[in-house]
Chains A and B, each alone.
Chain A
Amino acid sequence: MNWFTKTFSSTIGRKIIMSVTGLFLCSFLVVHLVGNLTLFYKDGGEAFNIYSEFMAHNPVIRVMEIVLVLGFLFHIYDAIVLTRRNKSARPVGYAENHPQENSTWSSRNMGLLGTIILVFLLVHLWNFFVPARFGGLEAIPDKDYENLYAEVVKAFQNPIYVGLYVISMIALAYHLIHGFQSAFQSLGLTHKKYTPFIKTFGVAFSVLISLGFALIPLYFFFFVKL
C-alpha cells in the first residue's frame, strides 16, 4: 500500500472520511429541506413541481448527484469497515456493563441509527426519486414539467409511510446530534472558544432539520386531501 491508501485505511484516516462525508451530507440535508419547503406553498404543487423539474434535469445538479452518491457510499462503506473492526477489538464482552454511566445512547448506537436512515433512504428513493428520474409521473396538460407533487400527496395519505418517515427523522435527529459535533472532534477542529458553539449549533441544527423534514408527511397526512 502506498502512503495515501495507508493513511485512509488507518483508524484515524477512516474517521476523517466519516467526518468529511458526514458534514457534506449535512449540507445536502440543508439544500434538500430548503427545496422541499416549496411543498408548503398553497399553489397546488406548482412551485414544487418546477423545483423538482430543475433538480431532475439541471446539469450542475446531475454532477452533484454523483458526488452525493459517492458521499453516501464512502460514509456507509467506512461505517461498515469500522464497525467490523470495532467488534473484533472486543471478542469477549463484559458480563456486567453500564455504559450509560459514561456515554450517551446515540453516541453508542450510530450504526443502528445509520441503518434506520439507510432503510428510510431506500424507501424514500423508491417513493419519489425513481418515478421522478426514470419516469412514472403523471404529465400536467400544457406544462413542461411533471406532477411529482401528486406523488407526495398520494404517498403521505398512507399512515405506514407517514409513520416510517417520522420515526426515521427521529433517528436522523439522534444520528446528527452525536455526528455533527463528533465530526469536528474527529477532524481535530476543537478550540476552547468555538467548540461550545459547535456543540450547541449541532444540537439545534439536528433538531430543526429533522423536525422540518418530519413536518412534511405530517402536514400532508393531516391537512392535504387527495
Chain B
Amino acid sequence: MAGSNPNAKPMDLTLKIWRQKDKNSAGQLVTYPLKNISPDMSFLEMLDVLNEELLVKGEDPVAFDHDCREGICGMCSLFINGRAHGPERGTTTCQLHMRHFNHGDTITIEPWRAAAFPVHKDLIVDRSAFDRIQQAGGYVSVNTGGVPDANEIAIPKTIADKAFDAATCIGCGACVAACKNASAMLFVSAKVSQLAMLPQGKVEAKTRVENMVAQMDLEGFGACSNTGACAAECPVGISLDNIAMMNREYFGAKASSENV
C-alpha cells in the first residue's frame, strides 16, 4: 500500500466511546479494549475493526457518520480526545490516521455537543439545522433561459479566490463542536460570504443574510465570542474574516433592506 510503513508496529488501544441507544435515551461512555491496530489505518477504519469485533460478539456496533472517507463530504464528525476531528489541524476524522496515536493510548470519542445538534444514536448527531439555515437563503435563484457566455461577468481574481475559500466549507459542524458557545457563525458566515462576494449572489444578498441569521438564531446556536476556536479546528481552514464580513452584511442589510 502506498505510503504504508512496513516497520510500523500494530498498537493496542483503549477506547472510551459515547453509547446512546436513541434520541430519548440517556447515554454513557463505554470502554472497549482494541488490539492490533495498524498505524496506517484511518481513524474510521479503526472504528470499523471495533465494529466487526462487536458484531462477532453479537453486540450492537457503534453508530458513526461517514461517507466519502476522503475529506471532502463533511459527513464524518467525532470529538476525539477533546478536539473536533481529533488532534491534527486541518484534518477531517476520515483523514486522521492512527499513526498520530501511540501504543497504549486511551482515546475518548464523543459526538458533537450542541442543543441544535441532538444525538440520534451513539456518535451520530442530527445536523439538519445546517440544512434549514441553507434553505433559508444559502442559494442563488437562477431563472431558466439562454445560456450566457462563459466569463461574461468579470470577477476580480482576489474576489474569486476569497469566494472560493469560503465555498470550501464542507458543513461538517466542527466549528459548532469546538465553539464554547456552540455557535454556528463560521458555517453561516462562509455560506453568506461566498455568495455575497459574487455578482450573481449580490442580487439576493440582503434578504439572504437576514433570513440565514434569523434561522441560525432560531435553531438555538450560541453567539460568537471571537475565541477563534472554530477557525482553528476547521478541517478546511475557513477564515474568521468571513464572520466579520457576515456581520457587516447583516448590519448593512438590517439598516437598508425593505424587510420590516
Contacts and interface: CB of A to CB of B under 8 A. Distances in A.
Interface of A: 2-3, 7, 10-16, 82, 85-86, 88-99, 101-104, 107-108, 110, 178, 182, 185-190
A99 B223 contact: no
18 contacts: A3-B254, A11-B183, A11-B185, A11-B222, A12-B246, A12-B251, A82-B223, A88-B220, A89-B221, A90-B182, A91-B115, A94-B110, A95-B29, A95-B108, A97-B82, A102-B227, A103-B180, A108-B225
Interface string B32-68: 0000000000000000000000000000000000000
A9 B240 CA distance: 22
Contacts of B180: 86, 90, 99, 103, 108
A12 B83 contact: no
B115 A186 contact: no
A11 B216 contact: yes
Given A88-B220, A94-B110, A103-B232, A188 B82 contact: no
B84 to A, nearest CB: 8
B113 A92 contact: yes
B203 interface: no
A85 B213 CA distance: 15
A95 B115 contact: no
B108 A86 contact: no
Contacts of B115: 88-91
Contacts of B221: 11, 89
Contact of A94 (B82, B116, B217, B228): B82
A191 B213 CA distance: 23
Nearest to A88: B115
Nearest to A90: B182
B122 interface: no
B15 interface: no
Contacts of B244: 185-186, 188-190
Given A11-B217, A96-B108, A185-B240, A86 B223 contact: yes
A10 B251 CA distance: 11
A127 B124 CA distance: 56
A89 B114 contact: yes
Nearest to A111: B225
Given A86-B181, A95-B29, A102-B233, A186 B260 contact: no
A104 B227 CA distance: 7
Given A89-B181, A103-B232, A187-B247, A95 B226 contact: no
Contacts of A86: 180-183, 222-223, 225
B23 interface: no
Nearest to B106: A96
B9 interface: no
B182 A10 contact: no
B222 A12 contact: no
Given A12-B247, A16-B247, A185 B226 contact: yes
Contacts of B16: 95
A91 to B, nearest CB: 6
A103 B227 contact: yes
A93 B113 contact: yes
Given A10-B214, A11-B216, A86-B222, A96 B247 contact: no
Contacts of A185: 226, 240, 243-244
A98 B83 CA distance: 6
A182 B226 contact: yes
Contact of B223 (A2, A14, A189): A14
4 nearest A-B pairs in the assembled complex, by CB-CB distance = A188-B248, A89-B222, A86-B181, A98-B82
